[in-house]
Amino acid sequence: MIDPWVLAVGAILIFVVLLDAFETVVLPRRVTRRIRLARFFYRLTWMPWSRIARAIHTRKRREGFLAYFGPLSLICLFAVWALGLVFGFALVGYGFGSALHAGSTPATFATDLYMSGTTFFTLGLGDVTPAASRSRVLAVIESGLGFGFLALVIGYLPILYQSFSRREVNVSLLDARAGSPPSAAELLRRHSQNLEELRELLANWERWSADLLESAISYPVLCYFRSQHDNQSWLSALTTILDTCALAIVGIEGASARQAKLTFAIARHAVVDLAQIFHAVPSPERDRLPSAELERLRLFIAKQGLRLRDGDAAGQKLQELRGMYEPYVLSLSRYLLLPVPEWIPQEEVIDNWKTSAWGRISGFTPAAQTGMDDHA
């Protein structure tokens, strides 16, 4: 006996899962609809995961724990989709009246669920077989979807990890150029003797920001993937570039304000769109550059032979530029538990490339580092 209500529920479940998988894996643009299976899944899983992470006070352990979420959530999302399709086809089969041969045992919903699972994963055990034409058609459709789902997963993972690797290359390159963790003042210090190189660096980061924008919108799960080192992240790198661009736009003698404006525009676009994707409401939680810190920044830059334009107009301009991106950066930092870098580097910070499990590279004192930077 056909049950139209069970049929309808099963068909709707199949449609919802297939639409969600298509929008997440295939569709190369942001989906603004709030009610989505993947969005609900990440909200449901990230909240307890991040709450546990906040209770871990050791940075290394906390970052290690958070590093598991991105890859593990991806596997769990695939499992949720597969279970949803199996359950949906089982409901459709049950709605068709469980037209199955199961030996001497009468077919029940459990039989339909077993039949659906073996068909979707193309096991073909043969102990349960369709007994009517509608059940045979349903089995063919489900086996085809199961094969296509497997191919989709296999093709999706390499693309995702290629985007992740491409993102992390520039984050790692910033280590020797802006410190670990990076900061705008340190980036300017290490390029103070060659501002043309700084312009080229900002041009490269303009393209990196555009790539981040496109890849993260298509695959938001990438934002959960952590960098190799605990004191690095895509958010800290992006914030450092935005800070540097803001200073160059305000006015640093010899720096390319035009390139800084171009890089600032696309980098700011990236942080705003990412905040919208995660519904991270922008809020100025704290002032990253109070007046006293700004004066210290001016002195730090002046010691490197650079001069940041001063005066009320320059201060107001810097404040306006910071207001265009800092609230979004801070909201993403709070949601993703990614630290935001300071404007000025901390004292005695050792770059990642100078350290290892066996200690620091001998002979590299702060003075030696300064000499190396000046002749780079």
32 neighbors 15 (Cβ within 8 angstroms): no
Same-domain check for residues 200 and 331: yes
Q: Could you tell me how far CA 209 lies from the centroid of its own chain?
A: 13
Rg of the chain over CA atoms, in angstroms? Answer: 27
pLDDT score, position 253 = 81
pLDDT on residue 184: 93
The pLDDT, as a whole number, for residue 286 is 78
148 in a structural domain = no
Structure tokens at 23: 């929008």
pTM, full prediction:
0.86
Q: What are the structure tokens assigned to 19, written together?
A: 């639409």
Scanning the structure block, which residue is given the tokens 């107001």? 316
Identify whether residues 270 and 356 lie together within a single domain: yes
Contact criterion met (CB below 8 Å) for 102 and 126: no
Answer with the one of 131, 157, 184 that is the final residue of a domain: 131
Check whether residue 314 and residue 198 sit in a common domain. Answer: yes
pLDDT surpassing 60 at residue 58: yes
119 domain residue, yes or no: yes
pLDDT value, residue 376: 42
Written as one string, the DSSP assignment of 55-81 is: T---HHHHHHHHHTHHHHHHHHHHHHH
The tens digit of pLDDT for each residue in 201-213 reads: 999 999 999 999 9
Q: Is residue 138 part of a domain?
A: no
Buried b (16+ CB within 10 A) or exposed e, 144-165: ebbeebeebbeebeeebeebbe
- Shared domain for 304 and 211, answered yes or no, is yes
What integer is the mean pLDDT of 273-284? 88
Residues paired with 130 in a beta bridge: 100
Looking at the 3D structure of the chain, how many domains does it have? 2
The burial of 187, by beta-carbon neighbours within 10 Å (0-12 exposed, 13-18 middle, 19 or more buried), is given as buried
143 domain-assigned? no
The residue to which tokens 């909240």 are assigned: 47
Residue 271 placed within a domain: yes
303 in the same domain as 212: yes
> Do the domain assignments include residue 153?
no
C-alpha pair distances (Å), 291 with each of 288, 296, 306: 10, 9, 19
Is residue 243 domain-resident? yes
pLDDT bin (cut points 50, 70, 90) of residue 375 is very low
Same-domain status, 42 and 94: yes
- Indicate whether 362 pLDDT > 70: no
Same domain, 41 and 127: yes
Q: Which amino acid is at 292?
A: A
Based on the fold, state whether residues 212 and 120 are members of the same structural domain. no
Cβ–Cβ < 8 Å for 37, 80: yes
In a domain, 253, yes or no: yes
For residues 106 and 192, state if they share a domain.
Answer: no
* pLDDT exceeds cutoff 70 at 279: yes
* End position of a domain, from candidates 73, 107, 131: 131
- Other beta carbons less than 10 A from residue 62's beta carbon: 17
Beta carbons within 8 Å of 96's beta carbon, 6+ residues apart: 2, 7, 132, 134, 135, 138
Domain range enclosing 204:
166-374
179 and 116 assigned to the same domain: no
Is 87 found in the same domain as 224?
A: no
Residue 367 has a CB neighbour count (10 Å cut-off) of 8
Within the chain, where are the H helices? 4-21, 37-54, 59-67, 69-95, 109-120, 133-178, 184-190, 195-218, 234-251, 257-277, 291-302, 312-336, 366-374
- 359 pLDDT higher than 70: no
- Do 189 and 254 lie in one domain? The reply is yes
